[in-house]
Amino acid sequence: MQARSLFAAIALTALLAACATPTTAPPAEPVAPTYSALGLEGVMGANARALIAEFGPADLDAREGPARKLQFLGPVCVLDAYLYPPRAGAEPVVTHVDARLPDGRDMDRASCVAALNRRPQAR
């Protein structure tokens, strides 16, 4: 009878150990960065003249149909402002901005706007 009890205890211990073995969690899905709109008040909804007055001449001015992209380069970051007309025939205004570090990594948009505001205007 003792052998049977010993066997049962060993089997129970092995079963419990198997249940307690940690499992590897699947890798987390990448999460898109979230950005604050604070500091973008002077950019969102602005027209091209207002952007140029704020940051100086654009380093890139691309147009495709009614859309326009203005790019501003600074030592800290690159800001791309996308302008679209709010309605047919209206002047395009900024509806979206992207910001990145010179090496291409994402950067907070408001921080990039602040950095560009501090860059020298004369080139």
One-character DSSP codes across 36-67: --TT-TTTTT--HHHHHHHH-S-SEEEEETTE
pLDDT greater than 50 at residue 123: no
| pLDDT mean over 89-113 | 95
pLDDT of 53 reads 92
pLDDT of 23 reads 56
CA 31 from chain centre, in angstroms, equals 10
Structure tokens, 17:
């150990």
| pLDDT mean over 35-62 | 87
Provide the pLDDT confidence category of residue 39 given band limits of 50, 70 and 90: confident
Q: Let me know: does 76 contact 118? Beta carbons within 8 Å.
A: no
Provide the pLDDT confidence category of residue 40 given band limits of 50, 70 and 90: confident
Provide the pLDDT confidence category of residue 42 given band limits of 50, 70 and 90: confident
pLDDT greater than 50 at residue 103: yes
Provide the pLDDT confidence category of residue 118 given band limits of 50, 70 and 90: confident
Distance (Å, whole) CA 107 – CA 68: 22
Higher pLDDT: 40 or 95? It is: 95
- Where along the chain do its domains lie? 40-123
Distance (Å, whole) CA 71 – CA 61: 7
Least confident of 9-13, 54-58, 83-87, 100-104: 9-13
